[in-house]
Structure formats: C-alpha cells, structure tokens
Structure 1
Amino acid sequence: TRMSWTLGIFFWCFSGSLAGVAILAVGVWVKVDSGSLLGVLDNIKDAPAELGQLANVAYLLMGVGGVLLIMGFLGCCGAMKESRCMLMLFFIIILIIFIAEVAGCVVVLVFQPLAKEVLEDLSEKVVDSIQRDYGKDESLTSLWNGTMEQFKCCGYRNYTDFDGSPFQEKPTNPTYPPTCCIKTETCTAAAAERSNVNGCFTMLLNLIEDNAVIIGAVGLGIAALEIAAMVVSMVLYQQIGNK
C-alpha cells in the first residue's frame, strides 16, 4: 500500500540522516588524520596526481554526508505532502550522490594497490627535500616536526634521512630530531639507532590502507540504503500519480 511505501521513505530518511552523520564524520577524520602527511608530500615537486585525488576523497565524503542530511528532510516532506515533484527531486539527488560515491570508491580502490609503489618512487625526492631544506626552510621544518610528532615517526624512511641536512649544521641542535629517539636523551646516531622509530613512509602507507577499508565498508552500507531509497521513492511517486 501507499502507506507502507511512505513509511519506507520515513525509515530511509532516519537511516539516511544517520548515514550522513557517519559519512561526514569519516570524511572529517580522513582529512584531519591524513592532512599533515599529505601536506608534507605536497611540497615535493612532481608528486603523483593520485595523492591529490586521495586527499579529495575526504572532501567528497564530507560533501556527501552533508547532502544526505538535507535529503532526509526533503524525503520526509515529499512523503508527507505526497509531492511527486519533491519525490522526483529526492530520487535525482540520491542518484547523483550514488554516482559520486561510486567514483570516490573507485579512486580509493584503484590507488590502494599502487600506494606502496607510488610512495617508494617518491622516496628519493622526499629525502632530497629533507636533506636540502629541513632546518633551513621554516615552513617545511614545521610541517615535518608536526607530522613526526603526530604519527610518532622519524623521517621518511628512518633517521638517516636527516644526514647532511641544515638541521645538523646548527651547533645547538642534537644530531637528529627528538622524535627519532624514544627517550628524552640527546638524539645522537647511537640513540636513534637503538630507538628504531618507524619512518613516516610506513605510517602513511598504513594510513592509506586503513582509510581505504573504512571508506569501502561505509560506502557499501550507504550504497545499499541509497538503492533502497531510490526504489521506494519511485514506487511512491508512481502510486501518487495513479490515485
């Protein structure tokens, strides 16, 4: 009956609003969690375009989440007023969101297997940047320090990335940044070797893989809800037209 389909729309509106909050939260988390590491790579010349696409996925998720919240209200109004115009608008926007989500998931799924290869290819350029500018370029130095403190990592590969950098030329500085050593002692080569802190390459690779799994799982769940919403809205649209 039409009442059953109307209740179906209401159910989707509630579920869609919750899903919108979930997607918005995941988007914000991906952006905050990956911002500093991807910011470091943005300073590297000739960095692969895929890195920028990965960062854009966070904005896509936030946009989709916000629109889903609005769609919850639109779907409720369309069902309550039995407005075919609002139901059709509801269907079209949900379809657009569905296509955008598929595009975002494709970017993530395609990039994930290539992540290790891309990041390894960047290794030489990143290390050259560290050895040339870390300790001299305040912007890059601050970005690296923030990244290493946040992710508890050292350099791109390991502490040796700082060998020959301007940082070591200042007599007031220890041999290596403090984050390269676990203890609070002066971070000498021996202390850094004993600490064996992971490079940020490893942390970034783990970040990409973890985010891809979460984004994929959320995307599959939301896609199922969106397909159901489109079916229910079109059935109700048809029944309202036949009354």
Structure 2
Amino acid sequence: MGCFSFLKTMMFVFNGIIFLGGVAVLGIGVWVKVDGGSFLQILGSAAPQLMQVVNVGYLCIAVGGFLILMGFLGCCGAVKESRCMLMLFFIIILIIFIAEVAGAVVVLAFSSVSRIFIEYLGNVAVKYLHYQYGESDELTTIWNATMKELKCCGFYSYEDFTNSTYYQRNQQYPPVCCANISPCQKYKIDPDVKGCLAAFEHFFSRNGKIVGGVALGICALELAAMIVSLVLFCHIGNSA
C-alpha cells in the first residue's frame, strides 16, 4: 500500500507540474493573440532578443492545450483512481513514444528517405522564401529569428532570395543576411554565411550529444510515466 501511495503521489505531482505549465503556455498564447501590444511592450523591455518569436500564439495555444489535457488525465486518473483516464493517458504517451522511435529509426536507417524529405522540405522552404517572405508577417518573423540565431541566410544560401518578391520590392536582401546592415546588397554579404540547412547541420554536429541526451531523457520520462500509469491501472483493477 505504501508503494502504491508513493506512485500515486508522484503521478499527481508530475502531472500537476505539466498541467500548470500547460496553463501558463496557453495563457501566453491567448495573451499574444488577444492583446499582443501589451505583451510586446513587456517582452521588449524584459528580453528584446525574443521580440522576433512572439508571433507563435497559435502554437502556444495548441501546446498549452495538449499539456493541460495530459496533466488533467494524469492527475485525475491518479487521484480518482480512474482506470479509464489512466489507460487513456498511457495510450497517448505510448503513441507519442512510438512516433518518436519510428522517426529516429527512419532517420538513422533510411538515409535515402531522409534525403528525399530534406529535398522536399527545401523545395517548400525556398518557395515560401521566394513568394511569402516579406508578405506574411508571421513567416517573416520566424525566418528572421531563425537566420539571426543560426547566423545563416536562406535555406540553401542567400541566393534563395534572388529575384524573390522581397528582393524585387526592396532591391536588397534581408538585412539579417548582412548582420543588419541596410541596404543589404550581394557584395555586403559575408561569404562565410551559410544557408540555414548547412548551419543547422553544423549546429547538430557540434551539439549532437546534447540533443541526443535530451531526447533520451524525454524518452526515459515517457517510459516512466507509462510504467507508473500501467502499475496504477493494474493495482486499481486488482483492488476492485
């Protein structure tokens, strides 16, 4: 009984943290979409470097809603000893875990599939850069933030912007490609500036162990959550 109570408490605390985190993320997402002006003012004074990533309100709402759902299922399933909630929590975590493992296997074992996916992603990215950069505020701010953080320009290179809608309208490349020097002309772009694909591959090669460690940590937490929920599910069933 002591072990069961401990697992029940840990399940409640762990999912309670997830639930509160989801509420916070959801609240930020709603705040951004409803009253973006005041949020921008506060964020600009507190963390100016994050000003370019605030146009992700819908993403925050979606992530926050999902976290709230998971936290609610875990907490209520443990407190109310609901086998239905615990099993639903277990199934959702299991689906996420299987999807992560399947994605890792595809990336590691089928390099040709990975190349095809990267090629497809590149075609889509270049198309958006060519026609939507400078036209869509959200896409533009996300790309600016990406290029600024990775110190890159375009998906493959700065040539992705050549003859684009943005270039034809402004007769220059995005200022972020020239370290925010405006007007950004071709001769001002540092030849060492890579495309974002190459910059991401370089970042991943340098930080692969950290990324792998984080991924393993997440998988371990997911496995622990599944084991605990399954143990509670079985114990409640035996006690009924």
TM-score grouping bracket, smaller chain normalisation: 0.5 to 0.7
**Equivalent in the alignment of 1:180:** 177
Distance between the aligned counterparts of 2:124 and 2:229, measured in 1? 48
* Unmatched segments (≥5 aa) in structure 1: 28-32, 40-55, 79-85
On the 8 A contact 2:25/2:63 being kept in 1, the answer is no
1:121-163 deviations in Å (ceiling 9; x for gaps): 54356446645x367x823xx4553233211132111112222
**Equivalent in the alignment of 2:36:** none
1:36-81 deviations in Å (ceiling 9; x for gaps): 9xx9xxxxxxxxxxxxxxxx9x968962663233321331233xxx
1:153-189 deviations in Å (ceiling 9; x for gaps): 321111122223344444xx34322111015243121
Partner SS, residue 8 of structure 1: helix
Distance between the aligned counterparts of 2:64 and 2:138, measured in 1? 25
**Equivalent in the alignment of 1:75:** 78
* Unmatched segments (≥5 aa) in structure 2: 27-49
- Mapping of residues 114-133 of structure 1, within 5 Å: 115=114, 117-124=116-123, 126-127=125-126, 130-131=129-130, 133=131
Which has the higher Rg, Structure 1 or Structure 2? 1
**Equivalent in the alignment of 2:194:** 198
Distance between the aligned counterparts of 2:175 and 2:129, measured in 1? 16
Partner SS, residue 193 of structure 2: coil
Distance between the aligned counterparts of 1:128 and 1:121, measured in 2? 11
Distance between the aligned counterparts of 1:220 and 1:168, measured in 2? 47
- Residue type matched to 2:95 in 1? A
- Mapping of residues 126-165 of structure 1, within 5 Å: 126-127=125-126, 130-131=129-130, 133=131, 138-139=135-136, 142=137, 145-151=140-146, 152=148, 153-165=152-164
Distance between the aligned counterparts of 1:134 and 1:179, measured in 2? 17
Cα RMSD (Å) of the superposition?
4.3
Distance between the aligned counterparts of 2:79 and 2:122, measured in 1? 52
- TM-score between both structures, scaled by the size of structure 2: 0.60
Distance between the aligned counterparts of 1:223 and 1:154, measured in 2? 39
Give the count of matched residue pairs.
198
1:222 lines up with 2:217 in the alignment: no
Distance between the aligned counterparts of 1:226 and 1:155, measured in 2? 41
On the 8 A contact 2:19/2:68 being kept in 1, the answer is yes
- Residue type matched to 2:92 in 1? I
On the 8 A contact 1:148/1:179 being kept in 2, the answer is no
- Residue type matched to 1:230 in 2? L
Distance between the aligned counterparts of 1:94 and 1:20, measured in 2? 13
Distance between the aligned counterparts of 1:108 and 1:23, measured in 2? 25
Aligned in 2, Cα 1:3/1:189: closer, same or farther, shift over 3 Å?
closer
Distance between the aligned counterparts of 1:104 and 1:61, measured in 2? 20
Distance between the aligned counterparts of 1:216 and 1:192, measured in 2? 39
Distance between the aligned counterparts of 1:204 and 1:177, measured in 2? 19
**Equivalent in the alignment of 1:48:** none
Select between 4-13 and 16-25 the one with higher mean Cα deviation. 16-25
Aligned in 2, Cα 1:60/1:148: closer, same or farther, shift over 3 Å?
closer
On the 8 A contact 1:105/1:216 being kept in 2, the answer is no
Distance between the aligned counterparts of 1:23 and 1:107, measured in 2? 26
On the 8 A contact 2:90/2:229 being kept in 1, the answer is no
